[in-house]
Amino acid sequence: MEEQGIGKIDMTILNLYPFEQTVEGGGDFSQCIENIDIGGPSMLRSTAKNHAATTIVTSPDQYDDITKCIEENGGTTLAIRKKCAARAFSLSASYDSAIANWFTNQLGEEKPVTTRVYKPEFPLKYGCNPHQKPAGISSVLNSKLPFDVLNGVPGYINLLDAANAWQLVKELREATGLASAASFKHVSPAGAAVAVPLSDVECAAYEVTPEAAKALTPVALAYLRARNADPMCSFGDFAAVSDVVDEPTAMILKKEVSDGIIAPGYSAEALEILKKKKGGKFIILEATKDYSPGDIEYREVYGMTFSQKRNDKIITKEDMEEVVTADKGAVTDAVRRDMIVASICIKYTQSNSVGFAKDGMMVGVGAGQQSRVDCVKLAGRKVDTWYLRQHDKVLGLKFKAGTKRQDRVNARVRYIEGDFTAEERIRWEAQFEEVPEALTTSEKEEFMTAASGITISSDAFFPFRDSIDHASKHGVSFVVQPGGSVQDGNVTSACEEYSMAMCHTGVRLFHH
């Protein structure tokens, strides 16, 4: 080097051969082998080892920090060289692991070792609870996050909600061709829906004038329905929509109590509206276009790492073709749409779960129960509440001027439930211009006799007919479930007795 007049090397900038991209692109064995870098990793590791004197740069996202450091200090500092060296060794480990895993898979053997290298993206205030610190979000090295933060500071549970809700609406859009929306709380949907026009009585129940309903865009309509599946549970939700958020959708969100939203994009007007919500703290996430999460997902619990193929099964109308009850013609395209909505919704609901749907929206979700019939009872109670919000007495409640929207929502639900304590009743009655006459049990039962056309979907087979017996009390006309139980015959007979049509999908949808 001295003879050739070459000075000491201050910095090495390199990109390794694109081995992982070649594999992902479907390269054959010889192409993948050709793209295994040999000299690159050697240069990378030797430069990183000698970080006391040299800088190793392995990614364009390091350029700005390094350029700034050179401009301010006349060269790189030891601190930034150490940081770059650590990044380089991580890249080397990840690269070699990818090669080892791929090569072993070619032999059909178990992987000798799996190395996953993460890049910290940003810290979180805390984890699930305030005492769970530190907390943060990382990406897999050389991969993007599935979103960009446009506004606000998301928390741990916010991001779990966003990840699940986005997958739900993305799949609903793909399966139905309709704008889709979801309202999530604590990693399960309170509601989900596709864009289906509102009836006049639904407009009244959701506090939307018929004129305003006609002006709703598809994405606004989908979120309005999703939010009104269970508006009490949707209080403080995390929203997701499948299409670009427009001004009408932003105006609906503006008046609701909500923590944030994830969507594929935002109009300038919508973004301006949403950025002002919650005093500027409303969380706005933009989903990464064409994001690929990979086929295998990993999860760490109590020192163990679980791995599994990601549940990338998309439920479509083709999954609803096996009608096992006698009336094959009862399952119309509209019914299949509701079966798809309910099934994709429970795919992202904590198991055990069942979901009830009607007119393109969830009207009751029963999540996280050990007994399936308890899921049906929980969701069935929500179905009754959704129906009874359309009762003339509920629609006719006369609130005092200035009563907040969510207070009106909660007051209607408590009016339907009717089980007030003495102290609660005093405060409840104070919200009205005149004390409402009670909605009696007989009035509720009479109103519910008209309920029909509801679809129920279950994330696993019904082990007994008790779930069907209970579902019959809530207007269920259609059933979709995986099937496969030794009790399938008895469950089918129960459906026949209640004139329900049932499909078997053969697809279990547990979610934990």
**Catalytic residue list contains 49:** yes
**CA 469 and chain centroid, separation:** 31
- The CB density around residue 383, as the number of other CB atoms within 10 Å, is 30
- The CB density around residue 188, as the number of other CB atoms within 10 Å, is 22
φ and ψ of 4, to 5 deg: -90, 0
Query: d(Cα 108, Cα 62) in Å, to the nearest integer?
Result: 38
Do residues 507 and 482 make contact, with C-beta atoms less than 8 angstroms apart?
yes
Do residues 135 and 157 make contact, with C-beta atoms less than 8 angstroms apart?
no
Do residues 439 and 416 make contact, with C-beta atoms less than 8 angstroms apart?
yes
In one-letter notation, the amino acid at residue 93 is A
In the numeric block, the tokens 């007049």 are attached to 5
The half-sphere exposure of 461 on its side-chain side, counting CA atoms within 13 A, is 15
In the numeric block, the tokens 């791995």 are attached to 307
Query: d(Cα 459, Cα 350) in Å, to the nearest integer?
Result: 10
Q: Take residue 242 and report the two structure tokens written for it.
A: 């499948």
Of 49, 133, 144, 400, the catalytic one is 49
**CA 15 and chain centroid, separation:** 35
Contacts of residue 412, defined as CB under 8 A and 6 or more positions apart, other chains included, come to: 389, 394, 397
Q: Take residue 39 and report the two structure tokens written for it.
A: 């000299």
SS3 31: helix
Strand partners for 304: 301
Query: d(Cα 94, Cα 115) in Å, to the nearest integer?
Result: 6
Give the helix ranges, DSSP H, for 107-217: 156-176, 200-205, 210-214
Query: d(Cα 26, Cα 23) in Å, to the nearest integer?
Result: 5
Burial 174-183 (b: 16+ CB within 10 A, else e): ebbebbbbbb
The DSSP 8-state label assigned to residue 439 in this structure reads -
Of 83, 111, 186, 254, the catalytic one is 186
Pairing of strands 188-194, 258-263: unpaired
In the numeric block, the tokens 């129920």 are attached to 456
Please work out, in degrees rounded to the nearest 5, the angle formed at the alpha carbon of residue 191 by the alpha carbons of 190 and 193: 170
In the numeric block, the tokens 């002006």 are attached to 215
φ and ψ of 444, to 5 deg: -65, -45
Burial label, 169 (beta-carbon count in 10 A; 0-12, 13-18, 19+): buried
* Catalytic residue set: 49, 186
